[in-house]
Each structure stands twice: as structure tokens, then as C-alpha cells.
Structure 1
Amino acid sequence: MLKAAGVGIGDEVIVPAFGNIEVAEAVTLTGAMPVFADIDPATYCLDPAAVEAAVGPGTVAIVVVHRFGRPADIAGLHEIGQRHDLLVLEQGESETPYAEVAQRRERAAYLDRRLRGVRTPEGGGGHTYQQYVVRVPGNGRPDRDAFARAVRARGVECRVPVKTPVHRMPGFRRDVFLPETERAADETLSLPVDAALTRREMNRIVSACNALGGLLQPAF
């Protein structure tokens, strides 16, 4: 789509650094330069204010990536695109049947009510919970990685959704200040929320996480 729109050498395209190295790679394949903008800490998608600050004379496009089932502020980003005459492209997530989304939301609500010591995701905004991503702030105590190891030891599968932001990867290193991206990469952990999970399995997730809750300061 970038090539079809005429994006090429000498152009700049604003992209997120939180995940999806493929987006930055696609920009470089056109000969253009990816410019990384920070994310909104609630949605993990591009923050319109950060995008506005990243627009420069060479900017021709914005690539918006919807993250974890929570859509970006597409209206705000399109408004920036219209004001600066920029192409706005979206990378969505795979379509999920409505019944499965409803079950994920039910399980997410269950975790929201019962988890302690972690910051649960903000709902609303059409969240489909492709992933249920919590925050595990260190606060000088056990960090996200230690928390993940302990949860796995209790029989709960979990994973770090974005291990390294793109602006820290070889070939894309930039001297850019992205505090929310850095914080999210250090604190986020994806817990199971599949539609197939049984109530017993959900209880195991809660018990495993809450057993460690006393080791963490409450996350506000």
C-alpha cells in the first residue's frame, strides 16, 4: 500500500516502535525512513499527540497498528492526517467471531474483578481481548520477568507481548525518547483469556497471580 501510494526515497513514515518490526521493515522496503512515535499507555497504539510532535517536512504517511484487540484513536489520527495532508494506513488484527469475542470479554471481566497486584487492561473502546495484557510494575520489588517465571511455575501460560521495541533493534536504532513505549515493554505481560478456558483454569490464573500479589505494591 505504501508503494502504491508513491511513498519512496526521501519520505518519512510515522510508525509505532511497540511491536511489529514488519511495519518498519515495510517502510524501509519502499526506500522511506520509519519515524517512531510513542504510544498511548491505555491502548498501546500510537498516541495522536506523539504523532503530531513527530510530523516533519518529510512526513508523508502514518501507519496505525491496532494492538491486543484494542483499537487506536483512529479519528484523532485521521484528523492529524487531514490537517497535514498525510496518508493514514491501518494494520488491523485478525477478525474473530462475535461469539468468541463475547466469551473473551466475559473471561476478561472475570480477571478484572479478581486480579490483585497487577494493573488490568482498560476495557471499552470495542476491546476484543486478542490478548489480555496486564502491567506488572517493579516498584523496587520483583519485576515483570520474575513475576512471569513464578506464574509459569504455578502452571499458568503467560508471555511477554513485546520483548524489544523496534527502536532498540539492530538496523532501526534511533536516538528518540519514547517513555511510554519503554515502560510498556518493561511492564506488560499477556495472560490467557481464550474462549476455551474453563472456570477451573481461570481460577488457577487468579490464584497464581494473586499468590504473588503480596510481593508487589498495588498498581494505581
Structure 2
Amino acid sequence: MLRAAGIGVGDEVVVPAFGNAEVAVAVTLAGALPVFADIDPVTYCLDRAAVEAAVTPRTAAVVVVHRFGRAADLRALRALGQRHGLLVLEQGESEAPYDEVAQRRERAAYLDARLRGVLTPDGGDGHTYQQYVVRVPGNGRPDRDAFARAVRAKGVECRVPVKTPVHRLPEFRRCVALPETERAADETLALPVDAGLTKRDMQRIVGACNALGGLLEPAF
């Protein structure tokens, strides 16, 4: 899409650093320069104000990536693009059948109501919970990685959704301030909400997480 739009050498394209490197790679393959902007801490997608701050006379496009089943604020980003004459492209996530999404939402609601000591995700804008991503506050006590190890030891599968933001990778290393991206990379943990999970599985997840809640400062 970038090449079809005539974007190439000398152009800049604003992209998120929170996620995998494929978008930044696509920009470089088109001959343009990826410019990283910070994310909104609620949606984990590009923040409009951060994108605007990253715009220069060479900016030609913005690539918006929807994350974890939560949609970016496309209305605001498209309005920004129109104001600056930028192409706004989307990278979506694969869509699941309605029944599967409904079951994931049911399991997410179960966790929302019962988890303690972690910050649960915001469910706005039709969240499909491709990943149920919580934040584990450190506050000088057990951090996200220690929390994840303890939960796995209790038989609960969990994963760090973004281990290294793209702007930290050697091939894309930039001296850029992305505080929300850095914080999200350090604090986020994806818990299972698969449609195949039983009620007992869900109880195990809650029990494993809440058993550690007393070791953590209360989530804000």
C-alpha cells in the first residue's frame, strides 16, 4: 500500500514501536524512514497527540495498528491526517467468528470482576480480546516477569505480548522518548481467555493471580 501510494525515498512514515517490527520493516522496504510515536496507554495504539508531535515536512503517512482486539481512535487519527495531508493506513487483526468473540468477552468479563492486584484492560469500542492484557505494577515489589513466573508455576499459561519495543531493536534503534511504550512493554502480561477454557480453568487463573495480589501494591 505504501508503494502504491508513491511513498518512498525521502519520505517519513509514523508508526508505533509497541508491537512487532513488521510495519517498520515494510516502511524501510518501501524506501521510507519509519518514525516512532508513542501509544495511548488505554488502547495500546498510536496516540493522536504523539503522532502530531512526530509530524515533520517530510511525513507522508501514518500506519495505525489495532492492538489486542482494541481499536485505535481512527476518527482522531484520520482527522489529523486530513489536516496535515497525510495518508492514514490501517493494519487490522484477523477477525474471529462471532461466537468465539462472544465467548472471549464472557471470559474477559469474568476476569474483570475477580482479578485483584493487576490493572485489567479497558473494554471500550467493541474490544474482541484477541489478547486479554493486564498490567502488573512493580512499585519496588515483584515485577511483571516475576509475576509471570509465579503464575506459570501454578499451571496458568501467560505471555509477555511485546518483549522488546521496535525502537529498542538494533536495526531500528532511535534516541526517542516513548514513555508509554516503554511502560507498557515493562508491565503488560497476556492472560488466557480462549473460547475452549472451562470454568475451572478460569477459576485457576484467578486463583493463581490473586494469590500474588497481596505482594503487589494496589493497582490504580
1:149 paired residue number: 149
1:171 CA displacement: 1.0
1:124 CA displacement: 1.4
Deviations for 1:162-190, whole angstroms, at most 9, x for unmatched residues?
Answer: 00000000110001000000000000000
- One-letter amino acid of the structure 1 residue matched with residue 105 of structure 2: R
How does 1:53-72 map onto structure 2 within 5 Å? 53-72=53-72
Identify unmatched segments of 5+ residues in structure 2.
none
SS at match of 2:170: coil
1:12 paired residue number: 12
- One-letter amino acid of the structure 2 residue matched with residue 70 of structure 1: R
- One-letter amino acid of the structure 1 residue matched with residue 44 of structure 2: Y
How does 1:1-220 map onto structure 2 within 5 Å? 1-220=1-220
1:137 CA displacement: 1.1
Deviations for 1:35-91, whole angstroms, at most 9, x for unmatched residues?
Answer: 000000000000001001111010000000000000000000000000001000000
Q: 1:122 and 1:54 mapped to 2: Cα distance?
A: 26
User: Please, what TM-score do these two structures have when normalized by structure 1?
Assistant: 0.99
RMSD: 0.4
Q: 1:156 and 1:77 mapped to 2: Cα distance?
A: 37
SS at match of 1:171: helix
Q: 1:19 and 1:67 mapped to 2: Cα distance?
A: 8
Identify unmatched segments of 5+ residues in structure 1.
none
Q: 2:119 and 2:95 mapped to 1: Cα distance?
A: 27
1:20 CA displacement: 2.1
SS at match of 2:189: strand
Q: 2:70 and 2:79 mapped to 1: Cα distance?
A: 19
Q: 2:32 and 2:92 mapped to 1: Cα distance?
A: 22
Q: Name the count of aligned residue pairs.
A: 220
1:202 CA displacement: 0.1
SS at match of 1:45: coil
SS at match of 2:31: coil
Deviations for 1:78-125, whole angstroms, at most 9, x for unmatched residues?
Answer: 000000010000000001111111110000000000000000001111
SS at match of 2:63: strand
User: Please, what TM-score do these two structures have when normalized by structure 2?
Assistant: 0.99
Q: 2:91 and 2:4 mapped to 1: Cα distance?
A: 16
Q: Percent identity?
A: 82
Q: 2:209 and 2:26 mapped to 1: Cα distance?
A: 38
Q: 2:173 and 2:166 mapped to 1: Cα distance?
A: 8
Deviations for 1:109-152, whole angstroms, at most 9, x for unmatched residues?
Answer: 00000000000001111100000000001001000000000000
